[in-house]
Amino acid sequence: MQQHLLGSPSRAVASSAMRLHCSATSSVSSSPSNSPKAISAVKQPWLLVGLGNPGKLYEGTRHNVGFEMIDAISESEGIRMSSTQHKALIGKGEIGSSQVLLAKPQTFVNLSGESVGPLATYYRIPLHQILVIYDDMDLEFARMRLLPKGGHGGHNGP
């Protein structure tokens, strides 16, 4: 049996949500050999993935906090989650001056790689531009941690 969040899930998520500011990465482009190398900003899109399980059984549960966060970001930034691609509900837009792709994989949490990998490949999004939002069973409720990479967070799969 799933444990439901106290109060409205959207309110709980919104109250602990932080506005995400994405920054463009830089790359060095080569110029003629007799002049110095110029540095130009290359905007790479961000892939923000909210993990959860599809279906009414999991709505409002801690397990779907990733979906709730993507919904909150989508609403606050005016990004419509209007199409399905690579087994995910997606929305394209901007946060600040950065392009973002919001995604809610419609696979179960432990199978989300079937969606996230193909999305990252299709849109040519490097790993350092992917933010995965999910409930980490190793953290207390409403705690957030940002890591450059990590483990399974209590999701051990089948």
Kindly give the residue spans of alpha helices, DSSP state H, lying in the chain. 9-16, 65-77, 113-122
Catalytic residues: 63
Of the candidate ranges 19-23, 64-68, 72-76, 127-131, the one whose mean pLDDT is the lowest: 19-23
> Hey, which CATH number is domain 44-145, 1.10.3720.10, 3.20.20.70, 3.30.1180.20, 3.40.50.1470?
3.40.50.1470
CA angle 30, 120, 61 (to 5 degrees): 140
Decide the pairing of beta strands 88-95 and 83-85.
Answer: antiparallel
Give pLDDT, residue 26: 28
pLDDT digits 0-9 by tens, 71-98: 999 999 999 999 999 999 999 999 999 9
Confidence of residue 41 (pLDDT cuts 50, 70, 90): low
- Indicate the domain borders of the chain: 44-145
pTM strictly above 0.75: no
Decide the pairing of beta strands 98-105 and 130-133.
Answer: unpaired
